[in-house]
Structure 1
């Protein structure tokens, strides 16, 4: 069993550098929220956040941001959910214009996802009230109505959507949610879902985290998530989600290089410089 406490004790310099890395990259804008915040009104911002979260698959951060921006420019604000809905060729044309081809695992599903998010918004016409009046657990269940948001017990996209909606600004939209008070010993219904375990965070945990010597890739999914939850909290006690947000940019492709390199002047100002094998040599 990987011990976060022992790792922190045995690797104090790496742990401190990791905390500094989180603090440095915590302010990097989320690509989905960067576009969703342009929408007029909280309802539209929620709807576009949901759409961007579902589409966030098998493309780089900058590509997803460009696609969501292009869709928003073509179908701004409430056009995401008002009837009549755009035809599939109109939606698909935006994807082709953005990516230059149809070569994307989600291409055949984009129109269906767009329509499904729109249907969700019509079913819940006051999305702001929907978010405020539900616990995260209830939101997680409701989000299963959306095509490609996930139906199984593990729904990483639904978890990511909830954090984007509820986390305080600038990491999220800062929506106040219902946090039921339960009898002593009963399960707290307002509990947040597992923290997002992105590919960047997975790389970080495998290369520079507590499981780097024991094989993070070989761990069971539940143990990976448990380790992430614990270490994210250790890296930023006041807001573990800041850790999850910041670490998603670790060795993640950006506009011209890895996002972490772009934000640290080509690794020159990265707190992890002395520990990361991917760090560029300083001149």
Structure 2
């Protein structure tokens, strides 16, 4: 049977599920631009499909999106082996919107899109990552995930258990109180910009880790910096070197948590996000790769 010509109804059905498709693709790939490309390719397939054969549009679209994302993820993993310095996800401005009114559901969505979790997902196999995303973020039944991946359900359950164990063992544990995170972020900005070493040390956990992502295209540490003393001295030195650049700072919410966006001449230069545990800063994520900052304004 020939494919159907796209109609207003088919476009409406696709747009209704676009947020879910974007959510799946971004969690799979960690790049906004790549996720948008996958969703666009999904639309092209949907627009050419024989929709009289499609009983459940959401299941069909999620299946297509996941398979396209898997193909792109396998290609990306080989490229990331030559990435300069640590890799962090592309920051995603998060607004889960009125379709997710439940606080618990918002917490799950925010958690599965956090920097901490996405960094750990990089160490999973593509299939493990797909199963984890579909199960943990979107609560798909194992039978549906098996259909998406064309695997037997017992195999999918094993993948899910292995992926969940891997993530639980390796992910940092952060507090999720937005007000506390915002307060610490404001105090972190004041101490960093002022070169206040004692102020920074009062905010940092003793075993704090600073991870900078430049992709070799900007200034950022090429290795993870660990311990409060080393991190505080690095931040004070960086602030002194950049003092003449005329930074403007704005608060934003990215990846489900408060973040600090630094701009120079109106253009994003760096994004800072803090991982907070027990009232102290445990992780500092700094994204300075310009390719990953373009979508923040």
Structure 2-normalised TM-score? Answer: 0.30
Structure 1-normalised TM-score? Answer: 0.31
**Which of the pair has more CA radius of gyration?**
2
Indicate the structure with greater strand content.
Answer: 2
1 or 2 for the larger relative contact order (CA 8 Å, sep ≥6)?
1
